[in-house]
Structure 1
Amino acid sequence: MSIFTVASRYAKSLLELAREQGNVDVVKTDIDQLIAVLKSNSDLLRVLKNPIISVDKKQNILTSLFEGKINPLILSFFGILVRKGRANILLEIAQEFVREYNEVKGIVKASVVSATALSEQNLQALASKIAQEINAQVVLTNTVDTSLIGGFVVRVGDRQIDASIAGKLNKLEKYFVSQAV
């Protein structure tokens, strides 16, 4: 069974349990915290993925790191994962939980790559426009790529809108090349 399939099943189980207990948003916040800790601490990830390190040791590490800081539901969920030998995919399960949560809440992630950093006002306006177009809540991230020269490229799911100068120059070049033949 693929890692994605396993992660998806565990994430759906956690989401369903959180729904039953009426604390989906609290669990989501705690899962975001877990993801941040795992991504910033490669040593912790290596420990969790190491099959030589005992289940008890992994459980003790997770308990000492998160006890009193996250919802007890999640801490017991970690315990189940560790006992089932799934600590090695804890990050993938957490990321899949966030994806499932976003799907349930109607949240769509989008990115905008621009030649210069966009102001908060411009980001909000663009997010609002995208939200109107797709009829969903949008979480928009901005990255800078100076090779675009000017303009921006927006990605929402599998759709992309290229309004960059570099993109327009590439289209123009392709047009001239096709006309020269």
Structure 2
Amino acid sequence: MSENKAASRYAKSLIDLSTEQNALEALKNDMVLLERVIDENPELEAILKNPIVPLEKKAGILDSVFGSKVHQITKAFLKLIVSKGRSAILFATSKAFLSQYNVIKGIVTAEVTAAIELTDANRAEIEQIVKKDFGANEVIIKEKVSNKLIGGFILKVGDRQFDASISSGLNKLKKEFAQGIV
């Protein structure tokens, strides 16, 4: 079974269990913490993925890092996943959990690459458009400023992309001139 498929299944089980136990928000916070800590500590990720490191040592490290900071369901999950020899997929599982959580809660992430930093009015307009077009309850806007853009922006939500950059418009115009359409 592929790593992503296994991570997705573990995440689904965790969501089901946490919903049943009225602990969904607590586990969401734990998964945010887990993802952030593993992402910021490549040494921890290397230990979790290393098959030579004994399972007891991995469990001890995870307990010392997260032990008192996480819900008991998360603690039990960490022990289970390490005992099954699947600690390598903890990062992927936390990402899958957060992705599935966002779907349940109607949260959509919009990635905006712009030539300049967005204003509050720009953010509000993008949020309103994404809420309307995607039926989202909440929109998380991830911004990036790119000096490769002359002006405008590129909006990406899921697998859909809207390119309102000046360079894109110029490229279209260039192609039209080359084809003799204009």
Q: TM-score range by the shorter chain?
A: over 0.9
Equivalent residues in 2 for 1:37-56 (5 A)? 37-56=37-56
Structure 2: state its 5+ residue gaps.
none
- Larger deviation: 11-20 or 105-114? 105-114
Q: Which residue of 2 aligns with 1:166?
A: 167
**1:122 paired residue number:** 122
Give the secondary structure class of the aligned counterpart of 1:155: strand
Shift of 1:67: 1.2
* Residue aligning to 1:141: 142
Could you tell me how far 1:164 is from its partner in structure 2? Answer: 0.8
What are the Cα deviations for residues 105-146 of structure 1, in whole angstroms up to 9, with x where unaligned?
111111111001113442233112211222113211111111
1:31 paired residue number: 31
Report the RMSD for the aligned CA atoms in angstroms: 1.2
Taking the aligned partners of 1:175 and 1:155, their CA distance within structure 2 comes to: 25
Distance 2:42 2:118 in 1: 31
Q: Find out whether 1:81 has 2:90 as its counterpart.
A: no
Q: Which amino acid aligns with 1:151?
A: G
3-state DSSP of counterpart to 1:163: strand
**If the length of structure 2 is used for normalisation, what is the TM-score?**
0.95
CA distance in 2, matches of 1:134, 1:121: 20
Which sections of structure 1, spanning at least 5 residues, go unmatched?
none
Scaled by the length of structure 1, what TM-score is found?
0.95
Amino acid corresponding to residue 70 of structure 1 in structure 2: V
Deviations 1:20-58 (A, max 9, x none): 111111110111011000000000000000000001000
How far, CA to CA, are the matches of 2:121 and 2:42 in structure 1? 35
- Residue aligning to 1:59: 59
Separation in 2 of the partners of 1:177 and 1:148? 22
